[in-house]
Amino acid sequence: MNASFLLYALLNTVLVVLLSPFYMGLIKIVKARAQGRRGPPLLQPYYNLSKLLKKERIYSKNTSAIMRATPYINIAVMLVASLCIPLALIPTPTDGIGNVILFLYMLALAKFFMALSGLDAGGTFGGMGSSREMSISAIIEPITIIAFAALSFSLHTTDFHQMFLERAGATAFLNPGLLLIAIPLFIVLIVETSRVPVDNPETHLELTMVHEAMVLEYSGRDLALMELSHAIKQTLYMAVLINILLPWGLTSELTVAGILIAAAAFALKAGLLSFVTGLVESSMAKMRFFNLPSLFMIAFFFSILTIWLEVFG
Amino acid sequence: MLSTAFYVGAALLLLGTVLPLVRIGGDGVMRRIALFFSMLALLVFISFSVFILYTNQQVYLAPYGIAPGLVLSFRIDRLAAFFILLISVVALSASIYSVQYIGHWHGEKRKNILTGLMNLFIAAMLFVVSSANMFAFLFFWEIMSMSSFALVLFEYEKPETRKAGLFYFIMTQLSTLFLTAGFLGLNAVTGSFAIQPADIGTGAAGVVFLALFVGFGIKAGVIPFHKWLPYAHTASPSNISALMSGVMIKVAIYGLMRFTLTVLQPETWWGVLILVAGTLSAILGVIYALKEHDIKRLLAYHSIENIGIILIGFGAYIIFTNNNLPDIAMLCLLGSLFHVLNHAVFKSLLFLTAGSVVYRTGERNIEDMGGLVKRMPYTALFFLVGAVSISGLPPFNGFVSELMIFTALLQSYALVDPFMKVLMLSSLAILALTSALASACFVKAFGITFLAAPRSDNAKNAKEVGKYMLLGPMILAFLCMSLGIFSYQIFAGAGYVLPIPDLLLIGSFLAAAYVLAWFVLKNVSSSAERMGETWGCGILTQTGRNEYTASGYSQPIVRIFSSIYRTKEVREATYFDESKSLFVQGSAEIHLVKFFEEALYLPIARLVNSLSEKVSRLQNWNLDTYLAYVFIAAVLIMVYVGWFI
């Protein structure tokens, strides 16, 4: 914990908060274009957030303090979790903040309270969303862990900062083992950000939805916080995938030029990934809820394959 | 000085046992004095054990012979002190809680017996972990088992309780039987009953280990020996459930650790066995917990799960040690021990607060609760702290111990043997699933019990409990938080600098981010707000009946894991015509098959029954027959002596 770490923390947080809504909008545009529509303006998510900040909040009579605290808990958790995942500048590993498990369980903390808030109002939609979200997250959890275990088997560390450092310094173009991990990491990204084929972020008040049902009772600035947290979560998972697979531009030196280039490189790569995500979403139909485990098994298979390569290769 | 502290504590606890039994019909004064004595005693034990833990010294007490050749001897080292600490902390909160809680039963006599037995139970557990020879260990182990048996039977009028008592009695005696066998085996090789390093051959050590593992495994509730646990913890009064689930099963873990680490030299296959048993208990425990709606039984199944997590850490410790990876092994062992402490704290907290809920609503079924967060806000807050801790979420204590075990398992790339790597990874994946399911289960438990609108009149009319019933859980909730946030500092203070994140830092960041977000939004956004109805597709007023139910909540998971629950569907239908086209009436039932009960316990019970029937034929109440038996026995002995000696 020193001045350079604080500088990293500040830079990383600002970058995450500023960039995150952008990719939400970008994916929407890609999907709209793929479906032959024009889609919303690129900066629409920012307009939405500022609009929500001006609106009043409505609480159900049934709700408790959980409902009011959850948006703040969510955003706080996301901001702190973003310290685990350097977007552009890699700090010298400090105090185990890059710990893989810490990152995962911070996100689980946010999810725990979000699921509780889904039950708080006593409506059927919230309960249903909450139940589904927790079920999905339970069955995706071993897959995420095994994907991260595959990462630590390949890179021999359990710390994201060290993983990225190693990748940034790597001379090899692409490691075949890491290429395989990209598949489970991408599936985890899709699942955790509630996208097709697991969930449908477009639908409201349909029986298909998961995440949107949970936050149905939120309004005003609370909803803005929930949406921003969701966007940050997406950026963080994208950053894991990008910085492992395409580490070019990542820097560990504190120079203005280096940081600017790294940030620009990240913005570009994340844009590319959003494009791919949008295409994948448009080319698939939402799966039936109870068919999801088979999708997860694909992710599981590729993680195990990577580990097999490391163990027996 | 230190031994005096131990004697004082022990004396106070024994006084607390005897006093309420002496004036059994009194007006409750004795009971309060006894509880006060036990609180004092536990405070003494807490300071005693903390001192030993941080100075890392050993305390020997004068041995006490109760009969020629049968000596009770005591020694307290760091491991024992650690367990004394966790027993005392939990028991202290349970005692404070009991001041009010015990009051709600009828009959002074019963209440006094409950108090006295509870103190005896606590004392017995403290003495088990302080024992330095196997005789003392077994002696207090039996007192612990018998006092807890009597406590389980407290509400003996209910048939359900009697069944639980019978189950518990048989299983606990079976546990003692295996332990005795193990101890006698050790004694046969070494010739000593002292609990000290014994250098015995690998074959003998393996047999002794197996006997002890089964013995301790039964008491700890390791699957498949777990069946007594959900019955007994549900049937007993809540303060006793907290003690049994929070500490008594940890005493079994203490025994397992003590005998595998101090007495025997663990081999790798022991580690594998412990790891596999732990993994199985963890995942099945939580899967069974998910379908429970009885709040106490749900918590009891989570005890099985957490014992599993503890065993995973311990098994991995043995494997890593035998593979020359001392640093990772240490992380596992400390993680496992820390989880013992953490589970004791948060599980007792959950049982006590659940007890408060049952005390106020008279219901154990969470489907009949709801809305209690407004009626019992402090109880709800403490339960929430326990729920977050048991789900392993930062920055609370459950997270730290799980993180330690996870990090160690993730580092299994350092192992050489591919089989071990695969084993560790499978365990890791299942542990991750377990922990995610646990948080789903506690969202359900907290959400259905405390949030939304009440689902029954009992829940609607519930009131907050009194101050003693809040103070006990409050201590534990505070511990849940501080053991998590200061974990790094606590380990550093005890001399272990671990590669774990500093949660004090993370916690401060979280708090800062929370305050920052709140402050910024307060200034940049509209603060207008109003109250309305929950949106319900046009239904104007929501009632408890519109809410999601606990069964509905866990239905997706139950369906995904349906092969584990082993449901049996029975359909009956009668038809008007032969081609079965006109339906007259019918029924469909879904039964949960109690797999372990029907496939393992009942066959054994039937076997014992049929054997004892055959044996009982030998007894025909006829003197001539018995004389004949004596004669045959005498002849056999003479033949044996003549031929073999």
Residue pLDDT, tens place only, A121-167: 888 888 889 999 999 998 888 889 988 988 888 888 889 998 888 88
Q: Say whether A56 and B528 touch across the interface (CB within 8 A).
A: yes
B556 and B633 co-located in one domain: no
Q: How far is Cα B408 from Cα B420, in angstroms, rounded to an integer? A: 13
Nearest beta carbon to residue B428 from set A73, A131, A149: A149
Least confident of A199-208, A216-225, B158-167, B197-206: A199-208
How many Å from the N-terminal Cα to the C-terminal Cα in chain A? Answer: 39
B507 and B631 co-located in one domain: no
Q: Say whether A138 and B433 touch across the interface (CB within 8 A).
A: yes
Residue of A49, A73, A102 to mutate when probing chain B, most B C-beta within 10 A: A102
Cα Rg of chain B, angstroms:
27
Residue B145 banded pLDDT, cuts 50, 70, 90? very high
pLDDT at B509 over 70: yes
* Position B225, amino acid: F
B613 and B465 co-located in one domain: no
Distance (Å) from the C-alpha of residue B644 to the closest C-alpha of chain A? Answer: 58
Nearest beta carbon to residue A99 from set B407, B422, B430: B407
User: Which of B364, B358, B260 lies closest to B311, judged by CA?
Assistant: B260
Interval A295-310: pLDDT, tens = 888 888 888 888 877 7
Interval B226-263: pLDDT, tens = 888 999 999 999 999 999 999 999 999 999 999 999 89
User: Which of A67, A101, A305 lies closest to B402, judged by CA?
Assistant: A101
Dihedral pair phi/psi, residue B186, rounded to 5°: -60, -45
Residue A57, classed as helix, strand or coil, is strand
Establish if B345 belongs to a structural domain: yes
Residue A105 has a pLDDT of: 94
B369 and B478 co-located in one domain: yes
Distance (Å) from the C-alpha of residue B375 to the closest C-alpha of chain A? Answer: 11
Q: How far is Cα A68 from Cα A62, in angstroms, rounded to an integer? A: 12
B556 and B620 co-located in one domain: no
Tokens of A88: 């552009």
Establish if B571 belongs to a structural domain: no
B605 and B469 co-located in one domain: no
Least confident of A27-41, A218-232, B14-28, B247-261: B14-28
User: Which of B303, B327, B306 lies closest to B316, judged by CA?
Assistant: B327
The most confident of the ranges A282-286, B259-263, B314-318 is B314-318
B605 and B479 co-located in one domain: no
Residue of B388, B396, B413 to mutate when probing chain A, most A C-beta within 10 A: B413
B556 and B615 co-located in one domain: no
Residue B56 has a pLDDT of: 84
Three-state helix/strand/coil letters over B393-445: CCCCHHHHHHHHHHHHHHHHHHCCCHHHHHHHHHHHHHHHHHHHHHHHHHHHH
Q: Which residues of A touch B528 (CB under 8 A)?
A: 56-57, 220
Strand partners for B64: B72
B432 and B498 co-located in one domain: yes
Interchain CB contact of B315 with A (< 8 Å): no
Nearest beta carbon to residue A124 from set B430, B437, B546: B546
- Contact between B24 and B112 (Cβ < 8 Å): yes
pLDDT at B118 over 90: yes
B556 and B614 co-located in one domain: no
Dihedral pair phi/psi, residue B63, rounded to 5°: -65, 155
At B235, which helix (H) or strand (E)? Answer: helix B228-235
pLDDT at A22 over 80: yes
Residue B303 banded pLDDT, cuts 50, 70, 90? very high
Q: Please give the residue range of the domain that contains residue B408.
A: 324-513+552-560
Residue A44 banded pLDDT, cuts 50, 70, 90? very high
pLDDT at B313 over 70: yes
Distance (Å) from the C-alpha of residue B203 to the closest C-alpha of chain A? Answer: 32
B413 and B483 co-located in one domain: yes
Indicate the angle between helix axes A100-120 and A220-245, nearest 10 degrees.
150
Interchain CB contact of B555 with A (< 8 Å): yes
Residue B587 banded pLDDT, cuts 50, 70, 90? confident
- Contact between B561 and B285 (Cβ < 8 Å): no
Nearest beta carbon to residue B443 from set A54, A130, A293: A130
- Percentage of chain B modeled with pLDDT above 70: 99
Residue A313 banded pLDDT, cuts 50, 70, 90? low
CB count within 10 Å of CB B98 equals 31
| Domain ranges across chain A | 3-312
Distance (Å) from the C-alpha of residue B1 to the closest C-alpha of chain A? Answer: 40
Number of CB pairs, chain A paired with chain B, less than 8 A apart: 252
Helix runs in chain A, H state only: 3-34, 44-54, 65-81, 100-120, 124-155, 160-169, 176-192, 211-214, 220-245, 256-282, 292-312
Residue B304 banded pLDDT, cuts 50, 70, 90? very high
- Cβ neighbours for B99, distance < 8 A, ≥ 6 positions apart: B32, B35, B468
B507 and B606 co-located in one domain: no
Q: Say whether B394 and A106 touch across the interface (CB within 8 A).
A: yes
How many Å from the N-terminal Cα to the C-terminal Cα in chain B? Answer: 55
Query: What average pLDDT score do residues B417-438 get?
Result: 91
At B49, which helix (H) or strand (E)? Answer: helix B29-55
Distance (Å) from the C-alpha of residue A5 to the closest C-alpha of chain B? Answer: 12
Average pLDDT, chain B: 90
For chain B, the domain total comes to 2
Establish if B402 belongs to a structural domain: yes
Residue B364 vs residue B23, higher pLDDT? B364
* Position B261, amino acid: L
pLDDT at A174 over 70: no
Least confident of B30-34, B455-459, B582-586: B582-586
- Contact between B444 and B329 (Cβ < 8 Å): no
Residue of B nearest to A115 (CA): B443
Least confident of A219-223, B153-157, B221-225, B600-604: B600-604
Three-state helix/strand/coil letters over B321-367: HHCCCHHHHHHHHHHHHHHHHHHHHHHHHHHHHHHHHHHHHCCCEHH
Residue A284, classed as helix, strand or coil, is coil
Residue B338 has a pLDDT of: 96
In Å, how far are A101, A178, A296, A300, B426 from A307, measured between CA atoms?
18, 10, 17, 11, 12
Residue B24 banded pLDDT, cuts 50, 70, 90? confident
Establish if B399 belongs to a structural domain: yes
Strand partners for B587: B572
User: Which of B238, B240, B539 lies closest to B379, judged by CA?
Assistant: B238
Helix runs in B56-133, H state only: 78-101, 108-130
Tokens of B616: 């009982």
